[in-house]
Amino acid sequence: MTEHEPDFNEYLSDPRAAAVVAVLRSVPYEEPPRRIAFVSDKVFEPTWWQRLWATPRWGFASAALLSGAIVFHAATRPPAIVRQAAPSASIQAASAPAASPDLDALVQVAVARAAAGIEQRHEKRTTEAVKAAEERLLIEHRQDMAAMEANTQMLLRKLNTYMRASNDVGAGQ
């Protein structure tokens, strides 16, 4: 028997107590801890990967990666097609021989016909689109009116039920 073990001999007459004492003697004696762990203890320090993940380096790395991707995209993009401006009318008149007045008139007539055709197609498409929109709105309006009528009928039935119930309660008093 060690100095820390209490003497249980006086309780050994009871078989249950003897079993408890036998179990207690089989457990090795350990001294209780002298203090509770503090937050500053090494146990609570984050691991190396937790420290790495918590640092602002990841934000800097993601910003640097995004900047690099933008620069790479700009450097590898194909060049834009640059269109040259049409030469001015005075340069064209000086360099080209005089066109016949019949050709100018024919060009103007062709341009006017093309413009008129475009206007007609545009007006036709606009008319069709407006007509389709009006039909769709008319259908939606009819559906809304039917739903409103159904809701009104339901509210009138509820109102009649409440009125009947209030009259029955008033008549019973």
Q: State the Cα–Cα distance between residues 123 and 72, nearest whole angstrom.
A: 48
139 assigned to some structural domain: yes
Q: Residue written as tokens 């000086």?
A: 94
141 CB burial (10 A radius; 0-12, 13-18, 19+): exposed
Q: Quick check: is 20 in a domain?
A: no
C-alpha to C-alpha distance for 64 and 76, rounded to whole angstroms: 18
Cα within 13 Å of Cα(123), Cβ side:
6
Q: Which domain holds residue 133?
A: 112-168
Assigned domain for 155 exists: yes
Gap between the Cα atoms of 66 and 58, Å rounded: 12
Least Cα distance to 23 among 33, 8, 34, 13 occurs for: 8
Looking at every residue in the chain, the average pLDDT score rounds to 79
The verdict on residue 152 lying in a domain is yes
Cα–Cα distance between 93 and 84 in angstroms, integer? Answer: 19
Q: Position 43: which residue type? A: V
Q: Tell which residue, 20, 1, 23, 3, has the closest CA to residue 12.
A: 20
Which residue type occupies 9? N
pLDDT per residue over 55-108, tens digit each? 777 777 888 888 999 998 888 877 766 666 555 555 555 555 555 678 888 888
- The reported pTM is 0.33
- pLDDT score of 57: 75
Question: Would you place residue 44 in the very low, low, confident or very high pLDDT band (cuts 50, 70, 90)?
Answer: low
Give the pLDDT of residue 91.
53
Instruction: Look up tokens 């640059």; give the residue.
Output: 82
| Residue 47 located in a structural domain | no
**What Å distances lie between residue 48 and 45, 51, 52, 54, 55, CA to CA?**
9, 5, 6, 10, 11
Query: Is residue 75, in this structure, part of any structural domain at all?
Result: no
Range with the largest mean pLDDT of 18-22, 39-43, 148-152? 148-152
Rounded to 5 degrees, what are φ and ψ at 2?
Answer: -90, 175
Q: Is residue 140 part of a domain?
A: yes
Give me the number of domains the chain comprises.
1
